[in-house]
């Protein structure tokens, strides 16, 4: 389980009763301090204690130190938290705010002392907020208002108390901030939520378009799942206005509950269509048929008092469904070779990790912190992107088969008509032949349209992945240098995103190069200018690395007949491979020279080289050299380069270079109109 693989994510054990957490020291503004590690906790099963009991009575000795954030899972207990604040200057920094998350806590009562040495409950100012707190007359209380200004007495230290009641998961983290950090934190969270909603909405539109075009319920079910997840993000981020569903303090409970239950119901429907359970898994199909009405009934749970009893099994069912989806796609991949199953298996495996993080947080097994939240968001975006590509692959294959069947039917009818009329009307045989050729041309045009659609998908996934990269980079810069654990986890996220980019790039480039309509559009181009542009683009993708270009063997007037897009794909692949298998300080060199009527392009690295016995196999599909070890790769990049060479009537080969490393050689024909080099 994920809890064993990443023990640092789990909630630490609670300390002994009577211990005191370290005081939270507040220096000069700006202040931005987390409450983690500075909170004492007291569980009140009956909810009978008041501020007098916990601050001055015997209950004060029953507080235990929380090493991490509050994470008790689903419980009916009332919880008291105590935080001791100490000022590091002569005065408290002003204005000072307390910010709490998540936003779905029912009732939070904050007790702040109004005098330096409080002696009774009346010496505390009480502030109540949360989605079950009745707002003042004429005002709305949005659930994102889980923050309050701290007006502390003129004393070196002060203890504040929090009383928490909730029907949701008893999980909470908090910060003490001044105004500027509070504004920045709010802006960062708004940008992150906006990016996540934009990604979900974009993919939802794509799948709605596919459904409107193909009328296949698979795409409509995934569209519904994405819309339900947008509802989840809106409710979790407290973006929807209060009382949008029902009036009163329980409106936000309904929204939060539906934010969990609607995606679960939509995912149940999507699982049936994605795995084709009626065809491949009949027993599972019967189970889904049984679960469907039960899932529909759970939608009324937020209006009742038994929401906690419903939401926990629903979350476990969702986790089980994702596990079943992962195993089912793996079976379809290994046993039936169904198109898109590989990407679907990878997507559900990534999403399974994200769901384990969410369930672990809600059940109190994992700490409520930024790392677990970011892990779920990254896994969700990766799942949506990869599953979308999987569905596109299936749609393309199904559409191609349908068109091939239609073309074959037309051809057979034409052949039959020709046999009937061959003795009388030879001209009609020619007409039938023309009809068959027209059908074939229509097939090629349709596949060209598919390639253009893949180009659209390429543009669509680059934007959300760029958001992920920038978010991870921003988080990494905010971490202190001593926080090695989180630096390591951020590095793992960065590596996973890079691996995702590689998988997507290889899949899309393969569609561009290997399709029926992917014929090289040869146009005379200046060799030197073209190579400079390609190398500049490749270098921009790895700005920290050195890519050298040697054009001493060509002139500015040298022309080559090429398809610029296809050659750019091939050379970018070779340069990326050379950078990947070279050391971080080693340069990669691209040289070009004219030899007779051929332009010879060499990409030279100083990496691990190639086993001599395997040099002839590296261009084969899915083949990887035995010395690549754990380096990421799909075994398709060099196969794509070889396909580009064949499309141009050229050659592609690999050899070990003198002094270590490897050299990839791509030979392309010079233009017949080109002057001598």
Average of per-residue pLDDT across 645-652 = 88
Note the pLDDT of residue 142. 42
Note the pLDDT of residue 5. 35
475 pLDDT tier (thresholds 50, 70, 90): confident
The yes-or-no verdict on residue 516 having pLDDT over 90 is: no
Lowest mean pLDDT across 286-290, 497-501, 546-550, 552-556: 497-501
Q: How far apart are CA 573 and CA 637, in angstroms?
A: 6
Lowest mean pLDDT across 60-74, 144-158, 426-440: 426-440
Mean residue pLDDT across the chain: 79
> What number of other Cβ atoms are within 10 A of residue 409's Cβ?
11
Average of per-residue pLDDT across 366-393 = 81
Tens digit of each residue's pLDDT (9 = 90 or more) over 229-265 = 888 787 766 666 655 554 444 556 666 667 677 787 8
Q: Residue 468 in 3-state DSSP?
A: helix
Considering 140-144, 341-345, 392-396, the range whose residues carry the highest mean pLDDT is 341-345
Which of 607, 614, 605, 602 lies closest to 571 in space, CA to CA?
A: 602
Average of per-residue pLDDT across 150-179 = 90
Q: How far apart are CA 250 and CA 47, in angstroms?
A: 20
Note the pLDDT of residue 474. 75
Write down the number of H helices and E strands in the chain. Answer: 15, 19
Beta-strand pair 78-87/24-26? parallel
Burial, 238: exposed, middle or buried (Cβ in 10 Å; 0-12, 13-18, 19+)?
Answer: buried
Q: Which domains does the chain have, with CATH numbers?
A: 2-178 (2.60.40.2380), 520-669 (3.30.565.10)
For the record, the structure tokens of 516 come out as 């029926």
Q: Which residue has the tokens 């569903």?
A: 245
Q: Do the beta carbons of residue 561 and residue 524 sit within 8 Å?
A: yes
Secondary structure (DSSP) of 127-144: EEESTTSPPPTT----TT
Q: Do the beta carbons of residue 284 and residue 307 sit within 8 Å?
A: no
Average of per-residue pLDDT across 342-369 = 82
Note the pLDDT of residue 138. 47
């Amino acid at each position: 389980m994920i809890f064993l693989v990443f023990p640092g994510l789990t909630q630490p054990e609670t300390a002994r009763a009577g211990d005191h957490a370290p005081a939270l020291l507040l220096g000069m503004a700006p202040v931005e301090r987390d409450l983690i590690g500075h909170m004492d906790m007291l569980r009140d099963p009956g909810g009978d204690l008041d501020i007098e009991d916990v601050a001055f009575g015997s209950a004060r000795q029953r507080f235990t130190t929380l090493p991490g954030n509050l994470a008790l899972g689903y419980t009916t207990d009332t919880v008291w938290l105590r935080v001791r604040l100490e000022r590091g200057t002569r005065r408290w920094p002003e204005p000072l705010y307390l910010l709490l998350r998540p936003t779905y806590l029912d009732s939070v009562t904050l007790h702040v002392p109004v005098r330096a040495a409080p002696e009774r409950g009346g010496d505390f100012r009480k502030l109540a907020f949360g989605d079950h707190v009745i707002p003042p007359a004429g005002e709305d209380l949005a659930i994102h208002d889980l923050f309050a200004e701290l007006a502390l007495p003129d004393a070196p230290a002060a203890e504040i108390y929090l009383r928490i009641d909730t029907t949701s998961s008893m999980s909470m983290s908090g910060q003490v901030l001044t105004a500027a950090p509070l504004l920045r934190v709010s802006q960062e969270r708004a940008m992150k939520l906006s990016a996540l909603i934009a990604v979900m909405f974009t993919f939802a539109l794509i799948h709605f378009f596919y459904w409107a075009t193909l009328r296949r319920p698979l795409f409509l079910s995934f569209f519904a799942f994405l819309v339900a997840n947008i509802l989840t993000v809106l409710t979790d981020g407290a973006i929807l206005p209060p009382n949008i569903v029902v009036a009163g303090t329980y409106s936000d409970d309904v929204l939060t509950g539906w934010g969990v239950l609607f995606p679960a119901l939509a995912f149940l429907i999507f699982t049936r269509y994605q795995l084709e359970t009626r065809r491949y898994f009949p027993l599972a199909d019967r189970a889904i048929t049984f679960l469907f009405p039960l899932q529909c009934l759970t939608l009324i749970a937020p209006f009742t008092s038994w929401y906690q009893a419903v939401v926990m099994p629903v979350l476990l069912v969702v986790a089980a469904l994702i596990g079943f989806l992962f195993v089912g796609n793996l079976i379809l991949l290994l046993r039936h070779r169904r198109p898109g199953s590989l990407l679907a298996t990878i997507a559900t495996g990534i999403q399974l990790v994200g769901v384990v993080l969410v369930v672990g947080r809600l059940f109190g097994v994992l700490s409520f912190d930024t790392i677990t939240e970011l892990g779920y968001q990254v896994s969700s975006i990766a799942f949506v992107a990869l599953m979308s590509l999987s569905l596109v692959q299936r749609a393309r294959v199904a559409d191609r088969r349908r068109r091939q069947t239609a073309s074959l039917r037309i051809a057979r009818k034409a052949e039959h008509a020709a046999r009937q009329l061959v003795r009388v009307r030879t001209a009609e045989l020619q007409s039938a032949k023309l009809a068959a050729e027209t059908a074939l041309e229509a097939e090629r045009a349709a596949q060209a349209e598919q390639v253009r659609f893949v180009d659209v998908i390429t543009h669509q996934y680059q934007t959300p992945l760029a958001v992920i990269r920038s978010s991870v980079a921003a988080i990494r810069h905010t971490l202190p240098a001593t926080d090695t654990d989180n630096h390591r986890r951020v590095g793992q996220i960065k590596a996973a995103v890079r691996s995702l980019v590689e998988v997507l790039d290889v899949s899309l480039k393969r569609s561009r190069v290997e399709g029926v309509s992917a014929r090289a559009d040869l146009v005379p181009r200046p060799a030197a200018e073209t190579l400079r542009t390609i190398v500049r683009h490749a270098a921009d993708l790895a700005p920290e690395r050195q890519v050298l270009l040697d054009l001493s063997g060509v002139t500015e007037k040298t022309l080559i007949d090429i398809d610029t897009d296809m050659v750019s794909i091939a050379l970018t692949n070779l340069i990326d491979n050379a950078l990947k298998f070279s050391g971080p300080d080693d340069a990669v060199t691209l040289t070009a020279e004219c030899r007779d009527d051929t332009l010879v392009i060499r990409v030279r690295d100083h990496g691990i080289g190639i086993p001599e016995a395997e040099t002839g196999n590296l261009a084969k599909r899915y083949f990887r050299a035995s010395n690549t070890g754990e380096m990421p790769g799909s075994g398709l990049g060099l196969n794509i380069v070889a396909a580009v060479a064949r499309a141009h009537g050229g050659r592609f080969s690999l050899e070990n270079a003198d002094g270590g490393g490897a050299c990839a050689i791509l030979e392309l024909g010079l233009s017949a109109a080109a002057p001598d080099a």
